[in-house]
Amino acid sequence: MIETLSEVRSHGGTQGVYRHASSATTTDMVFSAFVPDHSPGTRLPVLWYLSGLTCTHANVTEKGEYRAACAAAGMIFVAPDTSPRGEEVPDDPDGLWDFGQGAGFYVDATEAPWDRQFNMWSYLADELPALVGEHFPADLARQSITGHSMGGHGALTLALGLPGRFRSVSAFSPIVAPSAVPWGRKALKHYLGEDRATWRRHDAVAAIEDGARVDEILVDIGDADPFLDKELKPELLEAACADAGIALTLRRQAGYDHSYYFISSFMADHVAWHAERLAR
């Protein structure tokens, strides 16, 4: 069952926001979906978009500028939330923005008190795709995935960790090696515990080092991104892909930062790139 919170006409399609009770997180979860106009009975490919720290579905829905490109490509665009939410859901005890609600890091937590509700991997790998396949004209044999920052991390690790699920993967300003940066170390320690071996499948660089593979990756990153050197470290992904023989297109965009001004500037490129691979 899903509840329709809103639906509006846009770019020859329907932009909706929906809520449902999640068994993975034991909370209500909200997601948005854009569905282009299509002939009755047609099933459309799906592009998943995973958002970054502090974001909900709303950031990309309102600022991502993907609808015209998705309508032209005949592609559904789904944007889930970044974590469970609610008064009963634990949050960063220090009240900071880089952990807890809004910062699920797309893992299934194993440490209390996070393990009951912070199960974003299961939510995205299993529950939400099944729901989308049931309620929307989605062809789940044709899926691709992208994301921004923490969501870029999630897109990469889900694609690497679910071989054959996604026909293509891209990212905007991804956290490529969370084990090696402050944002990631804080989250993985609290969600997964002190044993760093358990972190590796949720670290794109480590997963590639351990043998996980995709055919190719597209990454855009701004060279004026304030988080570039401390938190993102794209050079680590570049080296891992070179060693593994993964075709990485890493585009360093001059003058762009970490914001949706940057993401929206290159969103159509990513949609077209995924559409080409979904059509094969």
Specify whether 149 is catalytic. Answer: yes
Two tokens, residue 120: 């974003």
Q: Active-site residue among 153, 190, 258, 270?
A: 258
* Ranges of each domain in the chain: 3-278
Task: Look up tokens 């680590």; give the residue.
Answer: 236
Residues 98-153 pLDDT 10s: 999 999 999 999 999 999 999 999 999 999 999 999 999 999 999 999 999 999 99
Looking at the DSSP bridge assignments, the partners of residue 35 are 14
Question: For the segment 52-94, what is each residue's pLDDT rounded down to a tens digit?
Answer: 999 999 999 999 999 999 999 999 999 999 999 999 999 998 8
Closest CA to 148 of 205, 231, 213, 249: 231
**Closest by alpha carbon to 78, among 14, 23, 165, 167?**
14
What is the per-residue DSSP string for 75-136? Answer: -EEEEE-SS--STTS---TT--SSSBTTB-TT-B--STTGGGT-BHHHIIIIIHHHHHHHHS
Contact assessment for residue 254 and residue 225, using Cβ atoms and an 8 Å cutoff? no
Q: Which of 83, 149, 168, 170 is catalytic?
A: 149
DSSP helix/strand/coil, 234: helix
Query: What tokens were used for 66?
Result: 């993907």
Question: Do the strands 3-10 and 216-222 form a parallel or antiparallel pair, or are they unpaired?
Answer: unpaired
225 is catalytic: yes
Third-level CATH fold of 3-278: Rossmann fold (3.40.50)
Distance between first and last Cα of the chain: 33
Share of the chain above pLDDT 70, in %: 100
**Strands 13-21 and 28-36: what pairing?**
antiparallel
Residue 39 pLDDT grade (very low, low, confident, very high; cuts 50, 70, 90): very high
Catalytic residue among 98, 203, 220, 225: 225
pLDDT tens-digit series, residues 150-207: 999 999 999 999 999 999 999 999 999 999 999 999 999 999 999 999 999 999 999 9
Q: How many Å apart are CA 7 and CA 198, to the nearest integer?
A: 41
